[in-house]
Structure 1
Amino acid sequence: MPPSQLAALPHAANAFATLFVGFGINAILRPEHALTFFKWTLPTNTADAEMASSMTAVYGVRDIFMGLALYSAAIWGTKKSLGWTLIAASAVAFADGYICYTHGQGQGNHWGYAPLLTIVGTLLTGLFD
């Protein structure tokens, strides 16, 4: 059986989608907690804290979008489109990790799962069939 036909791959993609939606909801409702994934803290200055909370909500909406895009590709798309959507999501995770790296910490929280997205996505594209 070609690797792209493994039954576990779409389930893994849906699990990633659920994680993204969960992270997004958390970022919108609990910005201070969401910042812990970046190893950052909410500023103590009120104006800065409000700005950080707003930007965290933007990050939350982005994560919810990524989750919904994955669900959409899994339900109505092809395995190849689901694979490429996962690869695109892995690029976001790698970029988040790089941003954390430039700030000196937190990259492991992103670089730990980014390769998994890439691997599952690449298998779904049929590249190794």
Structure 2
Amino acid sequence: MPSPRFWSNAGCALGLAPAVYGLHALFAPAGALAGFGLPGGSTLQDRALAQGLLRIYGVRNVVISLTLLTAWYRGHRETQGVGLVLGALMPLVDGLVFKDLLGGGEWKHWGFVPFLVGIGAGVLGWLG
């Protein structure tokens, strides 16, 4: 079984993923919308709303990443592990929203769930 340090470092690496998506959403919201397959809006007001919501998503993701990275850096494995496991709710709900709004695309999000739960469980020592 991998060492606790392995799991913690894997959690650190996985904790960077939300920041990548978040920074893209913050600095290129129109491109991020297109990348997600979301409509950008047909009117100026619709586009402003869509891009504003994507910026909220971006900040959320960056904050989650910084929280996980801080727990890793400070050696707070329990906080890091719980954060990873609970962080699985983000792509779970994101996928549900995509399925509801677009009728698909949920697995682009749900694919992260087993990694977050699995690595979080490893960090917490649940895997042995």
Give the alignment's TM-score, normalised by structure 1.
0.88
Give, as a single letter, the amino acid of the residue that structure 2 aligns with 1:82: Q
Structure 1 Cα separation of the partners of residues 35 and 100 of structure 2: 15
Q: How does 1:6-85 map to 2 (within 5 A)?
A: 6-36=4-34, 38-85=36-83
Q: Alignment RMSD, CA only?
A: 1.6
8 A Cα contact 1:25 1:60, kept in partner: yes
Partner Cα distance (1:38, 1:105) in 2: 11
CA contact 1:38–1:100 (8 Å) conserved in 2: no
- 1:60-103 residue CA offsets vs partner (Å, 9 max, x unmatched): 00000010011011011422221100011111111111111112
CA drift of 1:43 comes to: 0.7
Aligned pairs, how many?
A: 127
> Which residue of 2 is the match for residue 105 of structure 1?
104
- Alpha carbons of structure 1 residues 86 and 37: separation in structure 2 relative to 1, 3 Å: farther
For 1:36 and 1:70, locate their aligned partners in 2 and report how far apart those are by CA, in whole Å.
28
Give the gaps of 5 or more residues in structure 2.
none
TM-score normalised to structure 2 length: 0.89
Whole-angstrom distance in 1 between the partners of 2:111 and 2:82: 19
Deviation beyond 3 Å, 4+ runs, structure 1: none
Identity %: 26
Structure 1: give runs of 5+ residues left out of the alignment.
none
Equivalent position amino acid for 1:106 in 2 = G
Corresponding residue SS for 1:7: helix
Taking CA–CA contacts closer than 8 Å with sequence separation of 6 or more, which of the two structures ends up with the larger relative contact order? 1
| Whole-angstrom distance in 1 between the partners of 2:105 and 2:127 | 32
Query: How many angstroms apart in 2 are the aligned matches of 1:10 and 1:37?
Result: 30
